[in-house]
Amino acid sequence: MREITFSEATLEAMSEEMQRDEKVFVMGEDIARQGGIFGQFKGLPQKFGVERVIDTPISETAIVGAGIGAALAGMRPVVDMHFADFVGVCMDEVLNQMAKICYMFGGQCTMPLVMRAPDGIIRSAAAQHSQSLEAFFLHIPGLKVVIPSNTADAKGLLKAAIREDNPVLYFEHKALFPLKGPVPEGEFCIPIGKANIAKEGKDVTIISYSLMMHRALEAADKLAGQGISAEVIDLRTISPIDKETIFSSVAKTKRLVIVHEAVKTGGVGAEISALVAEEMIDYLDAPIKRLGAPFVPIPFSPSLERLVKINADQIVSAVEEICK
């Protein structure tokens, strides 16, 4: 199977969907002129024209508002946020319009809008360009939220998101864009709402997504050397959460560790912990462990930035504590 980068995989998904459906278009800051700051839109304006690959003013409110209007008018817009942090600028459009319009219109309309939001810690980008904000949107009914961890999922989930008739937030970790991996050729989509068992095991379940999946798999390899068999689940989607896959794994392993780069307080790990505690508590042989960033803004200093990032050894230590 051929190998391409995460960025190339998303570009391929965009190109295929724009070729398949003339209603699909993309807009954002510097995506036509620059090709996107991570190269994820490179070549699209030459292939589809600037009428479908649109450079916008520096106004996230205008970008998302225009996307909502286009979706209501029957188009299938993809809007790019440049950095996920900037979603805060247009939060009213996301919270009160994009997520609720179909409900408020009694289901008489659809909202096939994809918001692409590069997130995560990378190279001292500091407090306003390094955040992982996915848990904000887990709390908003009406939105679907996907977060791929690898090149194949990057393509398959983006294609599924573009074909979805409900609004989808597509978070893509900035550190993953140069990552290379196998991607199937030809037509394929990955269903939204279905997690993936990335590694089977029997002693402990480790749940993660996005960049931290790579740390989780690294930890699983280290644990195997100690005779601990870890099952690693890639959520892929955090709204809706695939409870069936999670519960089935916890019933088997009876131990659970949840890992994400986002702040631990109020994160995706908290929601999963609550779900397991409410419905699977009798299966657990040890307390649930959560790993996430401390409750601080992401520092600019490289040495301080390293202190807020989760690594494989921390995951190993958490597993060791509950497998004694």
| 140 close to 118: Cβ distance less than 8 angstroms | no
Confirm whether 129 is a catalytic residue: yes
Give the separation between CA 287 and CA 256, rounded to whole angstroms.
8
Dihedrals φ, ψ of 278, to 5°?
-75, -35
Give the separation between CA 98 and CA 113, rounded to whole angstroms.
8
Q: Catalytic pick from 129, 173, 214, 260?
A: 129
Catalytic positions are: 129
